[in-house]
Amino acid sequence: MDAMAREHLDREWTPNALVNVVPLSKKYTFDLACRLFLNVVDVGDIKRLSDPFTLATQGMFCVPIDLPGMAYNRAIRGGKMVRKELIRIIHERRKELLEKKETRHHDFLSKMLLVTDENGQFCSEMEISNNIIGLLVASFDTTRSAVTSVVNYLAQLPHIYEEVLKEQMEIAKSKGPDELLTWEDIEKMKYSWNVARESFRLTPPAQGAFRETTTEFTYAGFTVPKGWKTFWTVHSSHKNPEYFPEPEKFDPSRFDGNGPPPYTFVPFGGGPRMCPGKEYAKLEVLVFMHNVVRRFKVEKAIPNQKVDDRLTVRLQPHGK
């Protein structure tokens, strides 16, 4: 992650005085997922996955009308294209493994190709592609949103940025100039992680989730029958003044000590169904924060710009 963050900033950020964070964070998170899960690094190969994948994800939460021109129709076509490309990659990797051309199995795909069930049977290419698509979906849009949200608050709140910079420079001083981050370094990023969590509180990466009620219950005067579908929202939980005084204020100190009570801060859900990618997201966000603040002073080019499809940030390299 650290090596790819450095490469990404060298290529996409450093040559520019202004950047639009949203498309760049999309590119970074998707490229990283392709590298970690598939060991796909070629720009052309990534593009053959990323373009149809974007179509598919844009139609995931839309009205399911399968007619030409509708988002759902484009999502179906995009999904088929993604699966076709994945099957091609899986087939080629399996061939390499059988011919002993691939001996290092560091990515998820190689490990999946070597897994067998209780009968000694290998996973089918369709099963593997299903698993990889699940990982790509889970690691892309929400982590992209998380990265964008953190950069937004660093650019908007100079006093927060300065404290993050101070912590990250202390870590950088303990390492050689080209030495990559370690897990021990991540564990030292206490304040930075509080900043990230406060970003997730105010701008949750996911909106919520559906659940089916197992028993009838009454809430706020409304009775919800057993078997109904309910949708819990992250925003309403995170803005509850009972647990977050002055809920609109950006205050990383909320997470000092034991932090908020259980089930009040739920950007990754809670309980046994909590998102299994929580630590992945934490690593990705903290590594990116480390590299951005070490290189640049960031500020919003348009002060009141809302973070939707654009977040224009002005970059000022340190020492200039």
At residue 104, the pLDDT reads 59
Q: Is 75 inside a domain boundary?
A: no
Q: Is 50 inside a domain boundary?
A: no
pLDDT tens track for 35-66: 999 988 888 889 999 999 999 988 887 889 99
Q: Is 170 inside a domain boundary?
A: yes
At residue 276, the pLDDT reads 82
Burial profile 52-86: b = 16 or more Cβ within 10 angstroms, e = fewer: bbbbbbebeeeeeeeeeeebbbbbbebbebbbebb
Q: Which residue positions form the known binding site for heme? A: 275
At residue 202, the pLDDT reads 96
Domain holding 289: CATH number? 1.10.630.10
At residue 307, the pLDDT reads 81
pTM of the model: 0.89
Question: CB–CB of 161/191 below 8 Å?
Answer: no
At residue 101, the pLDDT reads 64
Q: Is 72 inside a domain boundary?
A: no
* Percentage above 90 pLDDT, the chain: 65
At residue 152, the pLDDT reads 96
Query: In three state form, how does the secondary structure of the chain look?
Result: CHHHHHHHHHHHHCCCCEEEHHHHHHHHHHHHHHHHHHCCCCHHHHHHHHHHHHHHHHCCCCCCCCCCCCHHHHHHHHHHHHHHHHHHHHHHHHHHHHCCCCCCCCCHHHHHHHCECCCCCECCHHHHHHHHHHHHHHHHHHHHHHHHHHHHHHHHCHHHHHHHHHHHHHHHHCCCCCCCCCHHHHHCCHHHHHHHHHHHHHCCCCCEEEEECCCCEEECCEEECCCCEEEEEHHHHHCCCCCCCCCCCCCHHHHCCCCCCCCCCCECECHHHCCCCHHHHHHHHHHHHHHHHHHEEEEECCCCCCCCCCCEEEEEECCC
Q: Is 306 inside a domain boundary?
A: yes
Q: Which residue positions form the known binding site? A: 275
Q: Is 140 inside a domain boundary?
A: yes
Per-residue pLDDT of the chain in tens (320 residues, 90 and over written 9): 999 999 999 999 999 999 999 999 999 999 999 999 998 888 888 999 999 999 998 888 788 999 999 999 999 999 999 999 999 999 988 888 887 765 555 788 988 888 887 888 888 899 999 999 988 888 887 898 999 999 999 999 999 999 999 999 999 999 988 899 999 999 999 999 999 999 999 999 888 888 899 999 998 899 999 999 998 889 999 999 999 999 999 999 999 998 999 999 999 888 887 888 889 999 999 999 999 999 999 999 998 888 877 899 999 998 76
C-alpha pair distances (Å), 183 with each of 1, 2, 279: 11, 11, 11
At residue 103, the pLDDT reads 56
At residue 297, the pLDDT reads 96
C-alpha pair distances (Å), 105 with each of 37, 100, 108, 114: 11, 12, 8, 9
At residue 32, the pLDDT reads 93
Q: Is 171 inside a domain boundary?
A: yes
At residue 234, the pLDDT reads 93
Bridge partners for 297 per DSSP: 316
Could you identify the residue written with the tokens 């647990």?
Answer: 243
At residue 73, the pLDDT reads 95
Q: Is 180 inside a domain boundary?
A: yes
206 is in which domain, residue-wise?
A: 2-39+106-317
Q: Tally the domains of the chain.
A: 1
